Homo-oligomer: A and B are copies of this chain.
Amino acid sequence: MSNVNVLTGPEVAAHSSRDSCWIIVHGKVYDVTDFLDEHPGGSKIILKYAGKDATEAYDPIHPPDAITTNLPVEKHLGAIDVSTVAKVVKEVTEEEKRRQALMEARPPLENVINLHDFEQVARIVLPEKAWAYYSSASDDEITIRENRLAYQRVWFRPRILRDVSSVDWSTTILGQKSSLPVYISATALGKLGHPDGELCLTRAAANHGVIQMIATLASCSFDDIVDAAGPGQNFFVQLYVNRDREITRKYVQHAEKRGVKGLFITVDAPQLGRREKDMRMKQVDDGAGAEVQKGHEVKKDQGVARAISSFIDPSLSWKDIPWFLSITKMPIILKGIATAEDAILAYEAGVQGIVLSNHGGRQLDTARSGLEVLIEVTAALRSRGYFPDPKFEIYVDGGVRRASDVLKALALGAKAVGVGRPFLYAFCSYGQAGVEKAIQIFRDEFEMNMRLLGARTLDELVPEMVDASALTNHVVLTPQDNLFQNTYQPLTSAQFKESKL
């Protein structure tokens, strides 16, 4: 205690300007004066808390160790004497009251019967900013919707009269047991939607034998998540490669040391996409209303996503793969492959798998769905003798809302499927219990659909069980003949008497 500097509220409060700016986070005092111009979210939002306790604003959108990692040690000024800090009496806003009423009016969890229900509930109960960040996708949001619609273009060819008394949908992913052919894919900033953030996922996954992929941009710190693991629980980790490779090396090796079973390197995000819902939300957000300093590249209208991503390295390339293979023994998976050409390169680069993904529609808009890419990838790999290969697994993510979707992807060659937003919406609306219910819904649906499909194990899912002939059939309607459509009078049914309806 002797060599810990303890500061008082008034001392900190004296540094409340651009010239000298201290803030309190989690009981510690930091001098962020020099950092103001480097802050990805802009200096404005920090200056709002200059000389004050910023913890509450800091928490939802930063991992706990973000500040200690990014700020030189000499700027860590010491602890705060909490008793000396003026209490901020926080008013409950109308918006918060409304949200609270909505939370109380939620459908009982037992009434949630499919994954769409979670999204509908989340849309209503989430703070607008969180909904905008989570639900937004890039440009015209064509791809995010295509992800879902692609599954509707694949039809089942179910086989009958097979003894389906018992069906088994468990599998292994990268050699790890999984009770579902589904893993929880990485999503960022969970605390925007629930105070426990990604820990809701961790706890539910522990109870149900599901593997969670930890996001680089999780609200909870990597270690907090791993510390919360149940016995035998497995994790994967998602990686945004930092411009500073040393940071990345440490992160990867730490993950390996903590027992993470797979490293999913994001390769489709050299720059984060323009997500207009998120950008519009920023525009109406009070905190973003002020002017931006000249010379700053990150503008206030760029939304949460781009604010938090400026460290991602756009120079990442195939040349970096050997380095990754050299620093870890974890299986390496490239997340964001979108063509057969790159799938071949990935195989030949010696990684252990690929995720056919468009980042949930959040990156390049009008990119194709992972499911559609799967067809060209398996064909191309097969023609080179690279598929099937037990040492190279193919995953798909994006748009999955039903176990039947998963079965379609598996029939077409995927080993497992990543599910992100549905689990995120589940905990945003019902916490850990929501995630568990989501897993249970998957189980119920897997049981029914595998029976009806005539597949008793996942191995029995074969391409002949689906008709994917329409999958590459991208249809945009010719414009309507409005004059004709408006003039035509549609048929109606027989009328009830006296308009009693």
Find chain B residues with CB under 8 A from A164 CB: 270-271, 314-315
Query: How many angstroms from the CA of A87 to the CA of B435 in the assembled complex?
Result: 49
Are A142 and B481 within 8 A (Cβ)? yes
CB of A159 within 8 Å of the partner chain: yes
Please state if B477 and A475 are interface contacts (CB–CB under 8 Å): yes
Interface string of A337-348 (1 = CB under 8 A from B): 111011001000
The answer to whether A153 and B478 have CB atoms under 8 Å apart is yes
Expressed in whole angstroms, the Cα–Cα distance for A320 and B480 within the complex equals 39
Question: CA–CA, A492 to B136, complex, Å?
Answer: 12
Q: For residues 242 through 290 of chain A, which have their beta carbon under 8 Å from a beta carbon of chain B?
A: 267-271, 273-274, 276-277, 279-280, 283-284
Query: What chain B residues lie within 8 Å of A494 (beta carbons)?
Result: 107, 111-113, 117, 120-121, 280, 283
Cα(A447)–Cα(B500), bound, Å: 36
A467 at the interface (CB under 8 A from B): yes
Q: Is the CB of B478 within 8 A of A163?
A: no
Of A229-237, A378-386, A483-491, the one contacting chain B is: A483-491
Stretch at the interface among A48-56, A69-77, A144-152, A409-417: A144-152
Least distance between A109 CB and chain B CB atoms (Å): 9
Q: Is A90 an interface residue (CB 8 A)?
A: no
Asked if A141 is at the interface of the complex by the 8 Å CB criterion, the answer is yes
A184-221, CB under 8 A of B: which get 1 and which 0?
Answer: 00000000000000000000000000000000000000
User: Within the complex, what minimum Cβ distance (angstroms) separates A430 from chain B?
Assistant: 11
A146 cross-chain contacts in B, Cβ below 8 A: 478-479
Q: Determine the distance from Cα of A480 to Cα of B142 in the docked complex, in whole angstroms.
A: 7
Asked if A493 lies at the interface with its beta carbon under 8 angstroms from chain B, I say yes
Is A296 at the interface (CB under 8 A from chain B)?
no
Q: Are B481 and A157 in contact (CB under 8 A)?
A: no
Of the candidates B149, B165, B277, which one forms a contact with A491 in the assembled complex, judged by CB atoms under 8 Å apart?
A: B277
**B486 A492 Cβ-Cβ under 8 A:** yes
